[in-house]
Structure 1
Amino acid sequence: MSDSATLIVSELVTNAIKHSGGSQVAFRMQLQEELLYLAVESSASGKPAVRETDNDAEHGRGLQLVEYAVFALDGIWGVSDDGATVWCLLPAMGEDQ
């Protein structure tokens, strides 16, 4: 799980920095009972969404990777109504807890 959580955080923070123009970005991680909560908040305009990309595109797959990693761990993810926060909940299990 730690490798997947690292990938998720890396993609979310990278997207937040890239799309907010380098302004303030906040990362939060909390263990709530048996769930790991990860969230990245930024001042980026617009609402993040998974995009379809061409096979030869060099960018645009970050949220696809997040979605894949979250679902592979039987988690859920989403975006706040104002688009400022992208979050996920992952089952905390095993030795990496």
Structure 2
Amino acid sequence: MEPQHLSISVPGTARAVTDVRHQVVAEIRGWGLPADSSAVETVALVTSELLTNAVQHAGQGPISVAALLKDDTVRVEVSDASPTLPTPGLPDEDDEHGRGLLIVAALAVRHDVETTESGKRCWAEIPVQHEPTPHSPLHVPLPRR
């Protein structure tokens, strides 16, 4: 697959999370990912979780979202102006918040947070699997006699 890149400036509002998630999904569907790949839905969920954390904890400062496709991996990056690094917690089963980083860790093959000159960047990498679809012919070599 050809390398692809998307970068979006985001207002620090809860409504922005939904809008940006839809923008990211619409863009990456055009990158040639397999139609039956679960990577698109995984990227949408990871984007939502990382962006929600930035909106809730970084305030109204500048936030940006980037998605990059390189080889067989989509990397999602969310940057904000807060120097405070996120810390995953262990929420009680009745808690309505606190699971975002755990979800990201479960879905990504790699993830981390990096400090930047203007704050921090949280990122996660999601593999793109190339699985045959029911409509794809399978080529099985026959043994020679």
Q: So what's the TM-score if we normalise by structure 1?
A: 0.83
Match of 1:2 in 2: 40
1:23-77: CA deviation from partner (whole Å, max 9, x where unpaired): 211101111122211100001241112111111112111111111121xxxx111
Structure 1 position 24 matched with structure 2 position 62 = yes
Q: Secondary structure at the match of 1:86?
A: strand
Match of 1:43 in 2: 81
Structure 1 position 80 matched with structure 2 position 80 = no
Q: 40-49 or 77-86, which moves further after superposition?
A: 77-86
Q: Distance in 1 between matches of 2:82 and 2:95?
A: 22
Q: Verify the 8 A CA contact 2:42 2:126 in the aligned structure 1.
A: no
Letter in 2 for 1:5: V
Q: How many residues align?
A: 91
Q: Distance in 2 between matches of 1:55 and 1:24?
A: 33
Measured after TM superposition, the shift of residue 10 of structure 1 is: 0.5
Q: Distance in 2 between matches of 1:69 and 1:33?
A: 18
Measured after TM superposition, the shift of residue 4 of structure 1 is: 1.0
Q: Distance in 1 between matches of 2:129 and 2:54?
A: 28
Q: Verify the 8 A CA contact 2:74 2:125 in the aligned structure 1.
A: yes
Q: Verify the 8 A CA contact 1:19 1:45 in the aligned structure 2.
A: no
RMSD: 1.7
Q: Distance in 1 between matches of 2:84 and 2:45?
A: 23
Q: Verify the 8 A CA contact 2:110 2:124 in the aligned structure 1.
A: yes
Runs of 4+ more than 3 Å apart: none
